[in-house]
Structure 1
Amino acid sequence: MTDDAIAPKRSCDQDQDQDQNPVPGLPLHDLAGFTHRWVDAEGIRLHAVEGGQPAGPTVVLLAGFPQTWWAWREVMPGLAERFHVIAIDLPGQGHSDRPQGGYDTHTVASRVQAALTALNVPKYWLVAHDIGAWVAFSLALKYEERLHGVALLDAGIPGITLPDSIPTDPDRAWKTWHFAFHLVPELPETLLAGRERDYVGWFLKVKALSPNTFDDAEIDHYAAAIAAEGGLSASLAYYRDAAESARKNHDALERGHLTVPVLGVSSSHGSIPDMAASISPWAENATGVLIPQAGHFIPDEQPDATVDVLTAFIDHERVE
């Protein structure tokens, strides 16, 4: 039996048990064929949604701002036909704990890895979007031996590809203006409290190629996750800790570049025109693919194409 073929450990503290849910007031969506789990990750509880083929290669999914694991809901069934699939809510996201601190991506990466260790996953393929990709890049630097490969979807990485300044050209500024806003102490919380749905709705409608990509129920779900206790501050904390994430990324890269296969997934109307080119100076084995007819939210906008490119990446690297 290979590393890929080890089924997740089942223990009493990891069974589906909504009593463990740290955000009980937030509706919990079910996905056919998948099970909700809560696992200890260095003293906090992380929410994982698991399904697919227990004996297949494991694919781990991380979502970004302003979403939760639900961002992968249309991708997970397709991947589950061949893979063991685990989508994880990051700290502060969805139905995971919302700790007071520790949102630099190396700390978060340690917690994600701890959760996967608790789930008895020895080695896996990592797929991540937006802030999830920030965490995935740092996780690859820290735990490269645990990865078969990593796919990064439309994300600027702190200290690597994230720009140091916000453009003032209106045609470009709308894509990145929020980075500076989220860094301001207290003001975003003051302005956004009670207006989370308006704020979340702007991102989901404007950054998708089609403004109709997300329906009202989906916007309500993501807004409720951020509005729930601690959710807004936790979402902002990833940006506020981005400088520390960048410093730790550079410290790690001084010890060596990534050798694990990296797939950069770009979209025709996304934020980063060529993910592979942006990552390749830091990775020895980086390839890229562009998904047409998609904006920033690639898994929501083109789920079938996302499944296809991820499956092709895994198949290619397994053959190699």
Structure 2
Amino acid sequence: MAAMVSGFSPIRVRLPGHVINCVVAGQGPAVLLLHGWPQTAHAWREVVPLLADRYTVVAPDLPGFGASSRPDGGYDKRTVASTLARLMAALGLARYHLVGHDVGGQIAYPLAALYPESVRSLTFVEAGIPGLGDSLAAANPLTGGSWHFGFNMVPDLPEFLLAGRERGYLEFMFRRDTVGLYATGAIDDAAMDVYARALAAPGAVRATMGYYRALPIDIADNRELCAAGPLRVPALVVGARHGVGLGWLDTVQEAVADVTARWVEDCGHYVPEERPAELARLLTEAWQEGDSGDE
């Protein structure tokens, strides 16, 4: 697998039942960056260097993605969250800021709910919490959501239809959801190659679609976690003007007591690649006060 972040060599961390491929960079308070679908940790390639001068940044390939292992199951977000908590413990990072883009945001909520002593702050980038608020309508193509939720959830069919056509599917998705994809070079041919090779690897379509196929489990889990009461960790919701925007904001407000929302203008869904400097600025501004005097 190609280098995830230029200038930083990935490491492989062995956990029970998993091998997690990740970049660890910088020093200071820890930050865990969770990418979305259909990407890998390569999505953070421009953000990591902007944060690494002040933070210890961890950017893993999620289980099933990139060069991380692809187990047969366990892609419900609660299980993935537990794996990532073990990853941070293995790295010796007891407390950290948590940032999730897209599917990564769906993992971030149960991680913060199950391990509140570890999570210092919670950021959803173009993401929310399935099962809460109006999230079911947001994911339903009949009510304005994206058709790919249903397609990706169908057993076996994506594996069959995408075999040998992975790059075409990715190009369609990135072109649809990115502002000026080719004009800005936000996701250039080299990045597309990284994502296409990752999705074409044996078992990768099955594994990555597992995150969608687990949504019924996630919905039940999230409702159970939310019923225990709102999280007290500060949360930031970042929406792109030409992406999902703040359509999932109500789901976070239902689950977290202290929520702030910010817009990113002239940007599509893939904020870490389209507007990395602005995203890094929003994150560091949100973290600045809480970082003072901490480890």
Work out whether the TM-score is over 0.5: yes
Match in the other structure for 1:182: 152
| C-alpha displacement of 1:111 | 0.3
Conservation of the 8 A alpha-carbon contact between 2:76 and 2:217: yes
**Within 1, Cα distance between the matches of 2:199 and 2:222?**
27
Question: Residues of 2 paired with 1:88 and 1:264: CA distance?
Answer: 21
Assess if the C-alpha contact under 8 Å between 2:243 and 2:267 holds in 1.
yes
SS of residue in 2 equivalent to 1:76: helix
Deviation string, structure 1 residues 277-314 (Cα, Å, up to 9, x no partner): 44112111111111111110001000110110000000
Q: RMSD of the alignment, in Å? A: 1.7
Deviations 1:193-212 (A, max 9, x none): 11000001111111011121
- CA distance in structure 2 between the aligned counterparts of 1:279 and 1:80, rounded to whole angstroms: 28
Aligned partner of 2:33 in structure 1 is 61
* Identity percentage of aligned residues: 38
Mark the runs of 5 or more structure 1 residues left unpaired by the alignment.
Answer: 1-25
Residue of structure 2 aligned with 1:299, choices 247, 264, 272: 272
Shift of 1:40: 2.2
Secondary structure of the equivalent of 1:66?
coil
How many residues are matched? 288
The equivalences for 1:68-107 within 5 A come to 68-107=40-79
Structure 1 residue 241 corresponds to structure 2 residue 214 = yes
Question: Are residues 178 and 316 of structure 1, via their aligned partners in 2, closer, same or farther at CA, if it must alter by over 3 Å?
Answer: same
1:316 CA drift (Å): 3.2
TM-score (norm 2): 0.93
Work out the CA distance in 2 between the residues paired with 1:157 and 1:270.
17
Give 3-state SS (helix, strand or coil) of 1:121's partner.
coil
What TM-score results when the alignment is normalised by the length of structure 1? 0.86
Partner of 1:255: 228
Which position in structure 1 is the counterpart of 2:246? 273
Equivalent in the alignment of 1:44: 18
Matching of residues 1-320 of structure 1 within 5 Å: 26-29=1-4, 31-32=6-7, 34-53=8-27, 56-161=28-133, 162-164=135-137, 166-168=140-142, 172-173=144-145, 176-212=146-182, 213-273=186-246, 275-318=248-291
SS of alignment partner, residue 40 of structure 1: strand
- Say if 1:312 and 1:182 are closer, same or farther in 2 by CA, change over 3 A: same
What is aligned with 1:9? Answer: none
Mapped to 2, the partners of 1:179 and 1:29 lie a distance apart of 26
Q: Distance in 2 between matches of 1:153 and 1:168?
A: 24
Aligned-partner Cα distance in 2 for 1:181–1:308: 35
Gaps of 5+ in 2: none
